[in-house]
Amino acid sequence: MPPKDTATEEESVITYDINVPYHGAALEKKAIKHPQYTPTWNEIWFDKLPPFEFHDPALRADSQMPNLLTPAVVMEEISPRMGTILRNVQLTQLSDQAKDELALLISQRKIIAFPDQDGFIDAGPEAQQKFMNYFGKPNYQPVSGSIPGYPGFHIIHRDGNRAELDAFFTQKTTSCLWHQDVSYEIQPPGYVMLGLLDGPKVGGDTVFAATDEAYNRLSPAMQKFLDGIQVKHSSANMINHTRLVGGLVRKDPITTIHPLVRVHPITGAHCLFVNGEFITSAVGMKDLEWKAISDFLLQHIIGSHDIQARVRWSPRTIVIFDNRSTLHTAVVDYVDDEHGVQPRHIFRLAAMAEKPIPVSRI
């Protein structure tokens, strides 16, 4: 097992992602409402996930969704193009048929929010991980805090750390980091769950953008050009940063080549597979050429508010989203000048899916 890395320039390093604590020193010693989900950095080593056969549960679903959308369920749209709130649904009570239909609904609406999931939250990590295993293999994060015995949990806990935020904004103009989760994996996540354990009364939202809609807005000539581009996704920068600040690394860096435009296996939509966190270069292109394309696409997505949806959190809300057809970013705006940074405690579980499908295979 590799030893814990030590920092050499910690004082001069700006946090890579302000939402992710890289070691226990980043946590203030305050009471946590859900101590079972306190992030820890156990020295466990994970090898690269080998290729596996993936069977998307959405392909088994009844398109009418009778098991999920029962007469008691109330549906509310977050935005016309994406995002649905399902009320009067308890995730602990879903049958396998209802889970299949949920996968289909997520593929269609991209984001599904479930408020008031008391039973699911109280069921604990084992039940939550088992639920997500239905949708794909678990992902084990290389650097972030997890919980003992359940390495698939990626825990974000922020409570205080005003000095860290102040230092971050001496160099950064925004806390937003638009990305797909762990896109550097050979078979990245298809379905991702977020669960809010504690959060501010206002703020700390998550914003999503539809990458299929972003692709559809481009000209046919631009679409054809982008369809043939391959790009390198890598976790190397994140892992090197973690080592620099004295954090614990649990995996070797992974670099994978993926198509810039991927085909969604359920909807057939063409989706831009681009982000501002993990892509390092494009195959066969010079750095400045790729930078021009990347900057254009990201600004196109970030600036198109008409293809975005903003999820406003409340404690004990569960959100499951489609990682194949969206980008997302957390919003760190829950800072009070009198009391500092308000608590925000959230967990993430990711279900690994298919290797991204290029347009050339369709």
- What are the pLDDT digits (tens) for 220-250? 999 999 999 999 999 999 999 888 888 889 9
Of residues 17 and 209, more confidently modeled: 209
Judge whether residue 23 has pLDDT over 80: no
Q: What is the pLDDT of residue 361?
A: 78
Q: Between 157 and 128, name the one with better pLDDT.
A: 128
Chain mean position to CA 284 = 29
Instruction: List, as own/partner pairs, every contact residues 76-82 make where C-beta atoms lie below 8 angstroms and the sequence separation is at least 24, other chains included.
Output: 78/111, 78/113, 78/309, 78/310, 78/311, 79/308, 79/309, 81/210, 81/213, 81/306, 81/307, 81/309, 82/109, 82/110, 82/111, 82/208, 82/210, 82/213, 82/307, 82/309, 82/326
Q: Is residue 295 part of a domain?
A: yes
Measured distance between the N- and C-terminal CA atoms of the chain, rounded to whole angstroms: 43
The CA–CA distances, whole Å, from 4 to 147, 238, 244 equal 17, 16, 11
160 pLDDT more than 60: no
In a domain, 343, yes or no: yes
Into how many domains does the chain fold?
Answer: 1
Residue 362 lies in a domain: no
| Residues 331-337, mean pLDDT to the nearest whole number | 79
- Span 309-336, average pLDDT: 93
Q: Report pLDDT for 283.
A: 98
Question: How many Å apart are CA 104 and CA 296, to the nearest integer?
Answer: 31
Check residue 317 and give its pLDDT: 97
CB 307 within 8 A of CB 110: no
Range of the domain at 145: 46-357
Would 24 be classed as within a structural domain? no
pLDDT computed for residue 228 by the predictor: 97
Domain annotation covers residue 20: no
Task: Indicate whether 268 belongs to any domain.
Answer: yes
List beta partners, residue 179: 328
Please state, as a whole number, how many other Cβ atoms lie within 10 Å of the Cβ of residue 253.
15
Distance between CA atoms of residues 271 and 324, nearest Å? 7
CATH number of the domain to which 133 belongs: 3.60.130.10
How high is the pLDDT of residue 22? 61
More confident residue, 335 or 217: 217
SS3 state at 86: strand
- Integer Cα distance of 292 and 75 in angstroms: 41
Q: Is the Cβ–Cβ distance between 153 and 146 less than 8 Å?
A: yes
192 located within any domain: yes
pLDDT value for 264: 98
pLDDT of residue 211 exceeding 70, the answer is yes
Is residue 10 assigned to a domain? no
* pLDDT for the residue numbered 133: 98
Q: What is the mean pLDDT of residues 319-324?
A: 98
Instruction: Please determine, for residue 358, whether its predicted confidence score (pLDDT) is greater than 60.
Output: yes
**pLDDT per residue as tens digits for the range 165-200:** 777 778 888 888 899 999 999 999 999 999 999 988
In Å, how far from its chain's centre is CA 355? Answer: 17
Q: What is the per-residue pLDDT for 29?
A: 52
Give dist(CA 173, CA 211) in Å, integer. Answer: 24
Residues 68-95 pLDDT 10s: 999 999 999 999 999 999 999 999 999 9
Question: Given pLDDT bands bounded at 50, 70 and 90, which one contains residue 16?
Answer: low
Q: Is the pLDDT of residue 27 over 70?
A: no
Sign of CA dihedral 129, 130, 131, 136: positive
